[in-house]
Amino acid sequence: MANDLMNRFDVDPFFDRMAHHFFSPSNYDNDYANFGNLKTDIKETDKDYTLKIDVPGVDKQDIHLAYQNDTLSLNINQDHSSEQKDENGRVIASERSHGVMSRSYTLPGVDRDHIAASVDDGVLNVTLPKVTESHDQDGHIEIN
């Protein structure tokens, strides 16, 4: 009953959301609360950088990656809507939300033409191969 009252009188979004979580938490609420936590593992080898980023419940078309100026940028835009109806099919609640999350990673010396990315089981996997460098550090060229 308290949840019905809170849904009918949308006085303050903060208190409404707090009451909604308290009286009827749902899986969507848990996903929404964790949306801002892009937990990331970064592994560096001599050949590449490998990133594993948790993106549970995010469709790959909502993920946007770009590499520019030694920085990998990750942007996620996610929309969610839900509708609750009573036994007669009348809408009693309709909610819409929009979540945006961005994160940047400084990863210098990447061969941007060979970056690979995939999403598997809620994990975004990104491999950024490093540019191969010459072992000759002084730039000297031998003349034959």
Query: Which two structure tokens, joined as six digits, stand for 19?
Result: 């009451």
Whether 114 and 59 map to the same domain: the answer is yes
Is residue 135, in this structure, part of any structural domain at all?
A: no
Whether 43 and 93 map to the same domain: the answer is yes
Phi-psi region of 121 (alpha: psi -120 to 50; beta: other; left: phi over 0): left
Is residue 100, in this structure, part of any structural domain at all?
A: yes
Predicted pLDDT of residue 63: 92
Whether 43 and 113 map to the same domain: the answer is yes
Whether 92 and 22 map to the same domain: the answer is no
Whether 17 and 49 map to the same domain: the answer is no
Pairwise CA distance, residues 79 & 21, whole Å: 19
Predicted pLDDT of residue 138: 58
Is residue 139, in this structure, part of any structural domain at all?
A: no
Is residue 3, in this structure, part of any structural domain at all?
A: yes
Show the domain range for 112. 39-129
- What pTM does this model have? 0.60
Predicted pLDDT of residue 9: 42
Is residue 94, in this structure, part of any structural domain at all?
A: yes
Whether 49 and 24 map to the same domain: the answer is no
Whether 17 and 48 map to the same domain: the answer is no
Pairwise CA distance, residues 40 & 125, whole Å: 10
Whether 30 and 46 map to the same domain: the answer is no
Phi–psi pair at 141, nearest 5 degrees: -115, 125
Whether 58 and 2 map to the same domain: the answer is no
Predicted pLDDT of residue 47: 95
Whether 55 and 16 map to the same domain: the answer is no
Residues of the chain with pLDDT under 50: 1-11, 25, 27-35
C-alpha of 35 from chain center: 7
